[in-house]
Amino acid sequence: MKSAINRSNLKTLMLPISMVAGAVFYKWMGYLTFLSPYLIFTMLFITYCKLRLSDFKPNKFEGTLLLAQVVLAGVAYLLTFFWNRTLAEGVFICFFIPTATAAPVITSMLGGSISKVATYSLMCNALVAVAGPLVFAAVGEHSEMTFLQSFTLILKQVFPLILAPLAVALILRYAFPKVHAKVVGMQQLSFYLWAVALFIVVGSCVSFAIKNWTPQSTWTMVLLCVGALVACVVQFKLGRVIGGRFGDKVAGGQGLGQKNTVLAVWLALAYLNPMASIAPASYVAWQNIINSWQLMRHNRQKIDKI
C-alpha cells in the first residue's frame, strides 16, 4: 500500500521537476529538440494500443467539448488579432491544440473515465490533422509560400504525426496480438515519456525566450504568459462544467483543459510567429500546476480514507 502511494506521489512531483530541470538546463536543449515528434508519436501509439474501435463512441459529451474548443479558439483569435497578432496566435493555439496524450493517464489517476477522454482525444487529434493544415496555412506567417504550398507542407507533417500512431496501433492489434498485448501493459510509459517531453519543451522555450528577448518584446512575452493562464483556467473550468452535465467532471476538465503542449510548441515554432510558442510553453506550467494540485488533493483524500 505504501509503495503504491509513494509511486503516486512520485508521479505528482515528476511534472514540476521536469519543468524546473528543463528551465535549468535550457542551454543543451538544441541537442534534444529533434526528439519531440518521435516522443509525440510514441506517446500516441502507446495510448491508442489500449483502445478498441468499439471504445470510440462519440456522443453529446465529446461533441459538446469539441464545439467548445473550436468556438473558444476562434473567439480568442478574433478578440486579440487586431490588438497583437503574436498574442492572437499564441492564445489561439492554446485553445485549438488537441488533448494531451497523457490526459487518459491523469484522468485515470483522478478517477475519471479513460474511454471518454480517449475518444475525445482521438476526435481532437483528427480535427487538427484534417483542419490543422488549412488553419495554420491561413493564420501562419509564411510570406514566402503560397497558401497551397503552406497547406501541403503542413499536411505532410501534421497528418502522419497524429493519425499514423492510431493506424500502427490497430495493425499491431490484429497482426501481432502478442506484441500488442505487451505494449498495452506499458501504458504508464507514456506518462514518463511525457515528463521527458516536458523537459525538452520547457528548455527549448526558455532558450528561445532568452535568445530572442529584447526590451521591446517583454510586454508581448508577459501578455502571452497571461493569455495562456486565462486559456488554461477557462478550459479546465468549462470542461468540468460540461463534464458535470454528463456525469464526469474529471473527464470533462482533463479533456478540454489538458493540452498536448509538446505538439503545440512544435507547431508554433514551425508555422506561426516563433514568439507565439511562449504561450503554449507557459500553458505547460499552468496546466501542470493545476494537475499537480488536483493529484495531491486526490491522493490526500485517498490517504484519509485508508
* Per-residue cell: 244: 458535470
Structural domain boundaries, residue 241: 2-305
The pLDDT assigned to 233 comes to: 95
38: left (phi over 0), alpha (psi -120 to 50) or beta: alpha
Tell whether the model's pLDDT for residue 33 goes beyond 50: yes
Tell whether the model's pLDDT for residue 7 goes beyond 70: no
Tell whether the model's pLDDT for residue 64 goes beyond 80: yes
The pLDDT assigned to 65 comes to: 92
Residue 14 sits in a domain whose CATH number is 1.20.1530.20
How do residues 114-148 score in pLDDT, each as one tens digit? 778 878 887 887 777 777 777 777 776 655 556 56
How do residues 186-229 score in pLDDT, each as one tens digit? 877 877 887 888 788 778 778 877 877 777 778 888 999 999 99
Residue listed under C-alpha cell 478574433: 78
The pLDDT assigned to 224 comes to: 93
> Mean pLDDT score of the chain, rounded to an integer?
80
Interatomic CA distance for residues 45 and 76, integer angstroms: 31
How do residues 41-53 score in pLDDT, each as one tens digit? 888 788 778 777 7
How do residues 220-278 score in pLDDT, each as one tens digit? 889 999 999 999 999 999 999 999 998 889 999 999 999 887 778 777 877 788 888 88
The pLDDT assigned to 140 comes to: 65
Interatomic CA distance for residues 89 and 77, integer angstroms: 7
Q: How confident is the model at residue 6 (pLDDT cuts 50, 70, 90)?
A: low
Number of domains in the chain: 1
Tell whether the model's pLDDT for residue 1 goes beyond 50: no
Tell whether the model's pLDDT for residue 40 goes beyond 50: yes
CB contact burial 126-155 (16+ within 10 A = b; e otherwise): bbbbeebbebbbebbbbeeeeeeebbebbb
Tell whether the model's pLDDT for residue 71 goes beyond 70: yes
